[in-house]
Amino acid sequence: MTRLTFMTGLFGAVILLSLLLLALFAPQIAPGDPLQMVGRPLLTPFTDSRFPLGTTQLGRDVWAGLVHGARVSLTVGATAAAAVIGVGILVGTLSGFLGGFVDNILMRITEAVQSIPAFLLALALVSVMGASTTSVVIAIALSSWPPSARLVRAEVLRVRTLDYVDAARVVGRSPLAIAFLEVLPSALQPVVALIGITVCEAILVESALAFLGLSDPNLQSWGLMVASGRATLRVAPLLVILPGLAIALASLSVSVVGDALAAWLGERRMI
């Protein structure tokens, strides 16, 4: 790992940790309902100590919205990313280890899903299931799992030919036990490096769906703040810029941390 990669990874980790702490302690940092109208509409930032970043056109506290939006956006992004990786690991392991007919079926399904742009598929799924946090997580998971599945399959195809896997077959272990207890742990290193990209993509997709009004309207999120602020973009651009910067910082920090982790894992595999 180069010094530049290490420093950017450390910088990203500091930003990500700050956002996670902000989300974790959101009720203590900004008590109350972030959707509640608490002040005069379109209050300019730094003119009232109660609302350091001003208020929206509906009189909502912008600072409270950013803090509570961090909790919603990061939680949905992390949950959706975990679901994406989980589905990818399951499909990739079964496809790579069992091979034959199972491999052909699962890979054709993977290719069919991958042929549709992930965001458009997520948009269609949320439109059918309804606007809710659960629907958003399910939609992201069902539309974004193919890359992780193909990566896991490639690693499983490599690992399943090793001697210790043949030894497990000789002693009579079941195929599924060999696949998930012997082969999968050795095939997970590249998948760990993919986690950063997946979380970043999930945050962006959640924000885009919220911007289009396809998230839970009772929960404040960064995407919902951008969608609400676009009506007053000319007179109060900060209502769009601030949540947009939050989305960019979260995505950038996750991405650089993932790159640093991938570089570190790559060095360990070479040792």
In the predicted structure, residue 271 carries a pLDDT above the cut 70: no
In the predicted structure, residue 66 carries a pLDDT above the cut 90: yes
Residues in CB range of 241: below 8 A, 6 or more apart: none
The mean predicted confidence, pLDDT, of the chain is: 88
Strand spans (E) along 43-163 = none
Lowest mean pLDDT of 121-125, 159-163, 223-227, name the range: 159-163
Express each pLDDT in 33-52 by its tens digit.
999 999 899 999 998 888 99
Higher confidence at residue 115 or residue 194?
115
State how far the Cα of 50 lies from the Cα of 154, in Å rounded to an integer: 55
Domains and CATH numbers, the chain: 62-270 (1.10.3720.10)
So what's the pLDDT on residue 169?
84
Q: CA angle, corner 68, sides to 63 and 70, nearest 5?
A: 100
Express each pLDDT in 172-222 by its tens digit.
888 888 888 888 888 777 787 788 788 888 888 888 888 888 888 888 899
Confidence of residue 24 (pLDDT cuts 50, 70, 90): very high
SS3 55: strand
State how far the Cα of 59 lies from the Cα of 43, in Å rounded to an integer: 8
Mean pLDDT of 137-146: 92
Instruction: State the residue for tokens 């506290």.
Output: 61
Express each pLDDT in 70-99 by its tens digit.
998 888 888 988 999 999 999 999 999 888
Is 3 in contact with 254 (CB distance < 8 Å)?
no
Predicted TM-score of the model (pTM): 0.84
Sign (positive or negative) of CA dihedral 28, 31, 34, 40: negative
Confidence of residue 246 (pLDDT cuts 50, 70, 90): very high
Confidence of residue 133 (pLDDT cuts 50, 70, 90): confident
Residues in CB range of 82: below 8 A, 6 or more apart: none
So what's the pLDDT on residue 90?
92
So what's the pLDDT on residue 17?
93
In the predicted structure, residue 115 carries a pLDDT above the cut 60: yes
In the predicted structure, residue 25 carries a pLDDT above the cut 70: yes
In the predicted structure, residue 61 carries a pLDDT above the cut 80: yes
So what's the pLDDT on residue 95?
92
So what's the pLDDT on residue 266?
66
In the predicted structure, residue 270 carries a pLDDT above the cut 80: no
State how far the Cα of 195 lies from the Cα of 122, in Å rounded to an integer: 19
Mean pLDDT of 51-72: 92
